[in-house]
Amino acid sequence: MELYSDIYYVQRIQEGDISCFACLIDRYSQQVHTLIARVVTSREDAEELTQDVFMKVYRHLSSFQGKSSFSTWLYRIAYNAAISEARKKKQEFLAIDETQIENVSEEEIESRLGHTDHSEQIALLEKALTQLSPDDRFIILLFYMESKSIEEVSAITGLTESNVKTKLHRIRKRLYALLMKEKEKQL
Amino acid sequence: MNRYEEKDFLGNIFRQLPGESLPEDFRMHMMWKIEAEAARIRKRNERLGLLAVIFASLAIITLAVFAIIYLEIPKITISVSALSSLPFYFYIGGLVLLLLGGDYIMRKRYRQKHKENL
């Protein structure tokens, strides 16, 4: 049953076979939860929000017409839920000086962090991620963790493709600066 | 796989980020909620259907009453000549009932007689 496509399950659910929803939960709950947890930062909120996302998906499944892929549609719902929750909580994130962002290059960060062990790199990235705005965090996670293409990120976030490209470039630069800052703190 | 991911230093670290795990009963709990929601939607649809039928029936009755009383469509008139032949209709009706009663009693007797013979 796991081999069937998302559309197959969606059609079965639309025809009234609710049990097929379990297959969609199995397929996407972990990824959606990871994404949301990294945006809202509270574990309890993330779990509740993941439930809300799947409930919303079920409620609106009858209006899903397949214009985009099911996963894009699901991620769009998750994006809206996570961002509005993060805005409600008014999370604080670090404002970085623009000149500082421009001065850090990928080569520099690679030479600085390339020699540190993986667990330290991950810890630095996790810290840096918490200092990005929720929107930026979601976009970069979609792109790198979920391996979504520019077109898919654009469809999920509602931004234009050129806007996504520009944003990704800025977020990467910002992350480099934050990683450098975190690394310097350690020294 | 996206454009940056292969050669990107950031992409390599991102790939190693651990996923956040959900409780083991998440699927079961979620399906329970989904089933409750499906039942709620079904009930709501049934109620909406019933309301639609009631509303349509009321609309038709209102329209019929309006048409009969105010527009006088169809025109219903009872003539005096029709009333004068009423005793005759009762006579015919009584006759039919009498014959039906007789038929019923005779059939009953016939069946009883045949049962005894068997």
Task: Using alpha carbons only, give the angle A177, A181, A184 rounded to the nearest 5 degrees.
Answer: 135
Q: Mean pLDDT across the stretch B87-93?
A: 93
Q: Is the ipTM of this complex over 0.90?
A: no
Please state, for a pLDDT cut of 70, what percent of chain B lies above it: 91
Query: Exposure of B92 by Cβ count < 10 A (0-12 exposed, 13-18 middle, 19+ buried)?
Result: exposed
Greater model confidence, A6 or B84? A6
The shortest CB-CB distance from A47 to any of B13, B16, B22 is to B22
In chain A, what are the domain boundaries? 6-89, 98-186
Kindly report the CATH class assigned to A98-186. Answer: mainly alpha
| Closest C-alpha to A34, from A73, A71, A78, A86 | A78
| A-B Cβ pairs (cutoff 8 Å, strict) | 93
**CA separation for the pair A144, B23 (Å, rounded):** 25
Q: Mean pLDDT across the stretch B5-15?
A: 73
The shortest CB-CB distance from B20 to any of A22, A37, A59 is to A37
* Most B CBs within 10 Å, among A19, A25, A36, to test the B interface: A25
Please state, for a pLDDT cut of 90, what percent of chain B lies above it: 54
pLDDT of residue A95: 62
The shortest CB-CB distance from A175 to any of B5, B10, B35 is to B10
Architecture in CATH for domain A6-89: Orthogonal Bundle (1.10)
pLDDT of residue B6: 47
Q: Is the pLDDT of residue B77 over 90?
A: no
Position B4 confidence tier, pLDDT thresholds 50, 70, 90: low
Q: Mean pLDDT across the stretch A34-61?
A: 92
A90 CA: distance to closest CA in chain B (Å): 22
The shortest CB-CB distance from B14 to any of A55, A106, A144 is to A144
Taking contacts as CB-CB distances below 8 angstroms, the residues of chain A near B17 are 122, 125-126, 145
Taking contacts as CB-CB distances below 8 angstroms, the residues of chain A near B31 are 18-19, 21-22, 25
pLDDT of residue A19: 92
Q: Mean pLDDT across the stretch B50-68?
A: 94
